[in-house]
Amino acid sequence: QVQLVESGGGLVQAGGSLRLSCAASGRSFVNYVMGWFRQAPGKEREFVSTITWGGRTIYADSVKGRFIISRDNVKNTVYLQMNSLKPEDTAVYYCTTRAGGGVVTTTSAYPYWGQGTQVTVSS
């Protein structure tokens, strides 16, 4: 059974930084994409960033240049370094994973999700 456990959320002032981590377990994640979505109050869950097993990354336009995704394939852990945070980045951030590669930004394509971690950016 796949488990994804996020950590690292919290409260930060605008312009600050946070680093999210997500530890995956329950199977081999070779050739699995890992990544992050987020959901703000009253809004739909939206794509943030993903990284393939081989290290190919994609980002939403809203975070490009500010967020950096990485993964440790030995530890089965994915990270999201969030810099220059803005109040509009406030959301619950969810870790996710799926088999395969490619660019897929729709929530329905991802069968596994973590419980989420709250990120709040104050102005």
Q: Are 31 and 48 in contact (CB under 8 A)?
A: no
Alpha helices, DSSP H, located in the chain: none
Flag residues of the chain having pLDDT under 50: none
Give residue 106's pLDDT. Answer: 93
CA quadruple 46, 101, 53, 27: dihedral positive or negative? positive
Specify the DSSP class assigned to residue 19.
E
pLDDT tens-place string over residues 51-80: 999 999 999 999 999 999 999 999 999 999
Q: How many Å apart are CA 33 and CA 122, to the nearest integer?
A: 31
Cα–Cα nearest to 114, from 38, 59, 53: 38
Q: Are 116 and 24 in contact (CB under 8 A)?
A: no
Residue 28 Ramachandran class (φ > 0 left, ψ -120 to 50 alpha, else beta): beta
Cα–Cα nearest to 79, from 31, 38, 18: 18
